[in-house]
């Protein structure tokens, strides 16, 4: 179970990273197009449409993988004898990440937000992941209280 959780988390985080990369390229190319700097744009090969599709694919993959990893690990977390501290923070953080990615996809498919906003939301999601060094901050290695005990 733990290995599936780890694999799911790694796939999800990589997908989130790629969606962030697609988002940055999308925002840059969109800006270039709006400013009509065609020559600059011609150097690239990916169209805005391809970038958007790539971004959406990565967002779906990130959401599914990270949610699966979270759901699979949740019973184990809840059964931890010393539930509290870092574990609770990790559950809170993981649920926030999953909810954020669900919100991104929901806003796209239900509310129809623009791809520009989608890209910005995807970047925020990536920052959420990066803020905890992709969850490594919750590992015992980083847990000072665990180390002291």
Partner 1 sequence: MMKADLHREISRLVCVGMNHKSAPLRLREKVYVPPSELAKALSDIQQAFGFSECVLLSTCNRFDIYAVLPPERQHDENELVSLLYQAFRDFHQPRSLDVTEDLDLHLYCRIGHKAVEHILGVASSLDSLIIGETQITSQFKQAWQCALEAQTLGPHLSRLGQEALGLAKKIRSQTAIGQKTVSISHAALDLAKPIFGDLKGRSLMIIGAGEMAKLAALYAVSKAPKELIIVNRSLDKAQQLISCLNIPEGMHVRAHAFDDLAALLLHVDVLVSATAARTNVIDFDTLAPIVRKRKSRPLCMVDIAIPRDIDPRCGELEDVFLFDIDDLKQLTDDHLKEREAAMGVAQTLLLEKSQDYALWLKNFHVKPYLEGFRLYLDTLIHKECERTFKKDMFKDLKDEQILAIDRLLISLADKITADMAITLKDFHR
Number of residues near partner 1 (by CB under 8 A): 21
Please list every residue from 47 through 106 that binds partner 1, using CB under 8 A. 47-50
Tokens of 69: 């990893």
Task: For residue 82, give the 3-state DSSP assignment.
Answer: coil
Which of 1, 3, 38, 148 touches partner 1 (CB under 8 A)? 38
What is the C-alpha separation between 54 and 58, in angstroms, rounded? 6
Distances (CA, A) of 44 to 6, 85, 118, 120, 137: 35, 48, 21, 21, 37
**Interface pick for partner 1 out of 36, 81, 82, 147 (rule CB under 8 A):** 36
Among residues 17, 113, 120, 128, the one that binds partner 1 under rule CB under 8 A: 113
Query: What does the binding site for partner 1 look like in residue numbers (CB under 8 A)?
Result: 29, 33-34, 36-39, 41-42, 44, 46-50, 108, 112-116
């Amino acid at each position: 179970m733990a290995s599936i959780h780890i694999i799911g988390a790694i796939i999800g985080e990589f997908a989130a990273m790629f969606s962030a990369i697609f988002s940055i390229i999308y925002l840059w190319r969109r800006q270039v197009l709006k400013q009509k700097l065609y020559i600059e744009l011609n150097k690239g090969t990916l169209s805005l449409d391809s970038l958007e599709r790539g971004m959406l694919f990565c967002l779906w993959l990130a959401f599914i993988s990270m949610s699966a990893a979270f759901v699979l690990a949740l019973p184990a977390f809840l059964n931890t004898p010393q539930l509290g501290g870092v574990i609770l923070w990790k559950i809170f953080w993981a649920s926030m990440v999953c909810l954020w990615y669900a919100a991104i996809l929901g806003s796209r498919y239900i509310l129809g937000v623009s791809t520009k906003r989608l890209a910005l939301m995807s970047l925020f999601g990536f920052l959420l992941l990066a803020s905890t060094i992709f969850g490594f901050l919750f590992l015992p290695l980083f847990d000072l209280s665990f180390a002291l005990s």
